[in-house]
């Protein structure tokens, strides 16, 4: 076996994708500034106002749509007991986190929550974004003013999908999904939870686990996973301040909106997060704005109690060990990628050790479980491989096989194809041909092609996929945006853009929107976008390179080891990462 070292980069670069939602609280100190305004008794859609005084005009034009997508999502999906009087705020006051709010200062704001946008550019920081509430209702303790901060040193490189997700994630923290706020959540009898919102178990999968055990979260968690004995939904317990206990455990809900890291897979805006907001006692969600979670769905109690890898084989389809394949499909068949199985330069903690080689493991935030790390969405235009008959489109999904026009491939590869689900079968279009899959795991030949195609899990590939970019805050129904007008990719091609649209707005928007969103979008438009764009891309890749370029299967990650899971100190001590290719 030959190990070829290909690249060395700082692993800290990966960690800078992480949210540190309480960074602002640390900077200004822990305090709960209070505001007193009377509230109405009935539930009505929440109203927001946005202040951009602390953001450059360039960044405001660039990021405005993405922040407003987050605001619109909650303006549409959440109700509150509205203030019966206008809010009036001042700059540099404790209720505004001592920030300037010149755009809104002194105005009578018909709003229930004020968002203050904040910008910094710090390449030395280990976060891309953070958020904090500045002021709380004096009676209910719910947040009413908050800061959402972006570190443009990193967010400038994010694509549209990621930016919508990052802003919505941070805004969710600012609304109250934060450890420091959970103590003040209100029970049905009007008393606060204090420290009764969580439950600890010292030995689940041989590790310490903490659960959020509020009523609606318990109900939705048990329903999602098909396990009536789950105590609640697992918190992330790794990562220290800013990550632990304010996010869901990525091992359990990998691509859910409130997992602790930016993922290249599509974010799921699930009912689990809406349930947590409902359990705060401050909000009444409209669950029709939630999207179904596929990761671990209906896998039962064993998905939570058993390890991801047993005897060096995956126990569940969400995990992988195949590093020989040139590329693989993500668990939901929406993306292509590779198996993220790494070799660390330290011994993986014993409770997360799944391999004979004690240095091997996957993503630390997924309990070191190896998963398919995504590199290309099948729904976003990219470089087609003509030898595989590829295409990219809204209805395209990923499949695996050894097929090729020029020859059969020795190792499995993944490719994107237009699919149709009809009467329990899947029709897969490969180039000008099509094949039918009757059952999961079936191997079928393709006319004119060498090798075979492996039929995907029919239940998963035919399930509703997450809507692109969360419909910019609109409603997603059966995997389709009611209003899909902002999800066009006419000028967006990851092949031409060499990896992704960085979200650059041309700046023609002067940003004069006051940000006042009344939240009165009913979402009743039944838009008939059928998503039938087959996305034909006649890209010039001949496919002679045997598949994907992103095929480095095993990575070595360096780390100055200290096995402290809770303090998070280890997060900042990763020394280096070297990508290696194993040739046998």
| pLDDT tens digits for range 381-412 | 889 999 999 999 999 999 999 999 999 999 99
**Is 511 domain-assigned?**
no
To the nearest 10 degrees (0 to 180), the angle between helices 57-77 and 160-175 is 60
Q: What is the pLDDT of residues 194-233, one digit of tens each?
A: 999 999 999 999 999 999 999 999 999 999 999 999 999 9
Task: Output the pTM of the full model.
Answer: 0.82
Both tokens of residue 17? 């994708």
In a domain, 154, yes or no: yes
Q: Are 254 and 371 in contact (CB under 8 A)?
A: yes
Q: Is 36 domain-assigned?
A: yes
pLDDT at position 35, please?
Answer: 87
- Cβ(368)–Cβ(355) below 8 Å: no
Residue 169 labelled as part of a binding site: yes
The answer for residues whose C-beta is within 8 angstroms of residue 495's C-beta and 6 or more apart is 381, 382, 383, 384, 537, 539, 541
Backbone angles phi, psi at 363, to 5 degrees: -60, 120
pLDDT at 496: 60
- How many domains in the chain? 4
413 in a labelled binding site = no
Pair 412, 278 in one domain: no
The answer to whether position 369 is within a domain reads: yes
Same domain, 269 and 144: no
Question: Is the pLDDT confidence value at 521 over 50?
Answer: no
Tell me which residue of 485, 490, 487, 491 sits closest to 469, measured CA to CA. Answer: 487
Q: What is the CATH number of the domain that holds 142?
A: 3.10.170.20
Confidence of residue 242 (pLDDT cuts 50, 70, 90): low
DSSP notation for 367-400: TTB--EEEEEETTS-----GGGT----TTEEEEE
The CATH number of residue 206's host domain is: 3.90.132.10
Cβ partners under 8 Å of residue 105, min gap 6: 89, 90, 91
Residues 45 and 170 grouped into a single domain: yes
Q: Which two tokens stand for residue 273?
A: 């997060």
- pLDDT reported for residue 265: 72
Residues 31, 168 share a domain: yes
Give, rounded to a whole angstrom, the gap between the first and last alpha carbons of the chain: 5
Q: How many CA atoms lie within 13 A of 205 on its CB side?
A: 24
Q: Which residue reads 């008959």 in tokens?
A: 389
Q: Is 436 helix (H, G, I), strand (E, B) or coil?
A: strand
Q: Is the pLDDT of residue 507 over 60?
A: no
- Which residue pairs, CB below 8 angstroms and at least 24 apart, start in 87-91? 87/35, 87/37, 87/49, 87/111, 87/114, 87/144, 89/114, 89/145, 91/53
Residue 189, pLDDT above cutoff 80: yes
* CATH of residue 318: 2.10.55.10
Laid out side by side, the sheet with 372-377 consists of 328-329, 335-339, 372-377
Q: Cβ distance 186 to 280 under 8 Å?
A: yes
Q: Does one domain contain both 256 and 371?
A: no
Rounded to the nearest integer, the mean pLDDT of the chain is: 82
Residues 6+ apart with CB under 8 A from 66: 160, 163, 164, 166, 167, 503
Q: Is the confidence at residue 42, as pLDDT, over 70?
A: yes
Angle between helices 271-279 and 160-175 (to 10 degrees): 20
114-160: pLDDT as tens digits: 999 999 999 998 888 999 899 999 999 999 999 999 999 999 999 88
Q: Which residues pair with 143 in a beta bridge?
A: 136
Residue 500 confidence (pLDDT): 40
Active site residue 170: yes
Q: Could you tell me if residue 129 is inside a domain? A: yes
Q: How far is residue 447 from each of residues 4, 389, 428, 450, 539, measured CA to CA in Å?
A: 37, 12, 12, 8, 22
Among the residue ranges 149-163, 449-463, 479-493, the one predicted with the least confidence is 479-493
**pLDDT number for residue 237:** 87
| 250 and 230 fall within a common domain | yes
Residue 491 burial (CB < 10 Å; 0-12/13-18/19+)? exposed
Please check whether residues 106 and 223 belong to one and the same domain.
Answer: no
Buried b (16+ CB within 10 A) or exposed e, 450-484: ebbbbbbbbebbbeebbbbbbbbbbbbbebbbbbb
Flag whether 338 is in a domain.
yes
Instruction: Read off the pLDDT of each residue in 36-60 and give the average, rounded to a whole number.
Output: 96
Query: Which of 296, 311, 177, 160 shows the shortest CA–CA distance to 236?
Result: 177
Residues 75 and 216 in one domain: no
User: What is the chain's alpha carbon radius of gyration, rounded to the nearest angstrom?
Assistant: 24
- Residue 170 sits in the same domain as residue 39: yes
Q: Are 349 and 476 in contact (CB under 8 A)?
A: no
Share of the chain above pLDDT 70, in %: 77
Closest C-alpha to 160, from 464, 512, 488: 488
Q: Identify the domain containing residue 272 by its residue range.
A: 198-289
- Predicted confidence (pLDDT) at residue 519 exceeds the cutoff of 50: no
Query: Which of the residues 160, 170, 318, 343 is marked catalytic?
Result: 170
208 and 269 co-located in one domain:
yes
129, 147, 177 — which closes off a domain?
Answer: 177
pLDDT of residue 22: 56
Residues 62 and 164 in one domain: yes
Domain boundary among 121, 146, 177: 177
β-pair type (341-344, 554-557): parallel
* CB half-sphere exposure, 414, CA atoms < 13 A: 33
Instruction: Record the tokens describing residue 220, joined without a space.
Output: 């939705």
Q: Which of 428, 454, 481 is the last residue of a domain?
A: 481
> Is 530 a domain residue?
no
User: Using an 8 Å Cβ cutoff, are 383 and 333 in contact?
Assistant: no
- Residue 533: other Cβ atoms inside 10 A: 16
Residue 554 has which token pair?
A: 């095993």
Looking at the predicted structure, is the pLDDT value of residue 539 above 70?
no
Tell me: is residue 247 an annotated ligand-binding position: yes
Domain presence at residue 317:
yes
State whether 207 and 129 are in the same domain.
Answer: no
| pLDDT recorded at residue 514 | 42
For residue range 305-315, what is the model confidence (pLDDT) as tens digits?
999 999 999 99
């Amino acid at each position: 076996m030959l190990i070829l070292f290909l690249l060395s980069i700082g692993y800290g670069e990966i960690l800078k994708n992480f949210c540190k939602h309480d960074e602002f609280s640390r900077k200004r100190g822990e305090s709960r500034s209070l505001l007193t305004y009377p509230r109405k008794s009935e539930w009505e859609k929440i109203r927001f106002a946005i202040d951009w005084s602390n953001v450059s005009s360039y960044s405001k034009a660039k990021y405005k749509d993405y922040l407003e997508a987050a605001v619109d999502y909650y303006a549409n999906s959440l109700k509150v007991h509205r203030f019966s009087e206008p809010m009036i705020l001042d700059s540099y006051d404790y209720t505004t986190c001592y920030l300037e709010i010149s755009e809104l200062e002194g105005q009578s704001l018909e709003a229930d929550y004020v968002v203050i946008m904040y910008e910094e550019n710090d390449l030395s920081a280990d976060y891309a974004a953070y958020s904090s509430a500045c002021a709380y209702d004096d009676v209910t303790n719910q947040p009413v003013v908050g800061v959402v901060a972006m570190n443009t040193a990193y967010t400038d490189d994010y694509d549209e999908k990621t930016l919508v997700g990052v802003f919505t994630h941070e805004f969710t923290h600012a609304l109250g999904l934060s450890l420091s706020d959970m103590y003040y959540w209100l029970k049905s009898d009007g008393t606060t939870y204090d420290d009764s919102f969580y439950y600890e178990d010292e030995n689940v999968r041989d590790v310490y686990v903490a659960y959020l055990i509020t009523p609606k979260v318990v109900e939705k968690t048990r329903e999602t996973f098909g396990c009536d004995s789950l105590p609640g939904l697992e918190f992330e317990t790794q990562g220290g301040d800013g990550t632990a206990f304010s996010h869901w455990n990525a091992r359990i809900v990998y691509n859910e909106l409130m997992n602790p890291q930016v993922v290249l897979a599509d974010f799921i805006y699930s009912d689990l997060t809406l349930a947590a907001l409902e359990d705060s006692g401050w909000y009444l969600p409209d669950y029709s704005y939630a999207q179904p979670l596929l990761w671990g769905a209906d896998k039962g109690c064993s998905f939570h109690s058993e390890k991801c890898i047993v005897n060096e084989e995956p126990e569940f389809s969400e995990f992988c060990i195949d590093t020989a394949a040139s590329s693989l499909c993500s668990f939901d068949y929406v993306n292509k990628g590779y198996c993220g199985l790494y070799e660390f330069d330290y011994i993986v903690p014993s409770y997360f050790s799944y391999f004979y080689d004690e240095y091997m493991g996957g993503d630390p935030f997924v309990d070191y479980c190896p998963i398919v790390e995504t590199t290309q969405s099948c729904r976003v235009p990219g470089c087609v491989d003509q030898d595989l008959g590829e295409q990219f489109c809204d209805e395209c999904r990923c499949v695996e096989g050894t097929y090729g026009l020029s020859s059969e491939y020795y190792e499995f590869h993944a490719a994107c194809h237009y699919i149709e689900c009809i009467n329990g079968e899947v029709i897969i279009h490969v180039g000008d041909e099509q094949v039918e899959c009757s059952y999961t795991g079936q191997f079928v030949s393709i006319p004119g092609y060498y090798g075979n195609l492996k039929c995907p899990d029919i239940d998963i590939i035919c399930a509703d996929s997450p809507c692109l970019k969360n419909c910019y805050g609109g409603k997603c129904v059966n995997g389709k945006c009611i209003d899909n007008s902002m999800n066009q990719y006419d000028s967006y091609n990851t092949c031409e853009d060499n990896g992704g649209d960085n979200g650059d707005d041309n700046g023609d928007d002067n940003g004069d929107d006051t940000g006042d969103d009344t939240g009165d979008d009913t979402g009743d438009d039944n838009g008939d976008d059928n998503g039938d764009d087959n996305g034909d891309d006649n890209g010039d890749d001949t496919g002679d390179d045997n598949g994907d370029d992103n095929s480095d299967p095993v990575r070595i990650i360096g780390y100055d080891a200290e096995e402290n899971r809770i303090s998070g100190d280890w997060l900042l001590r990763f020394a280096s990462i070297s990508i290696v290719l194993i040739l046998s």
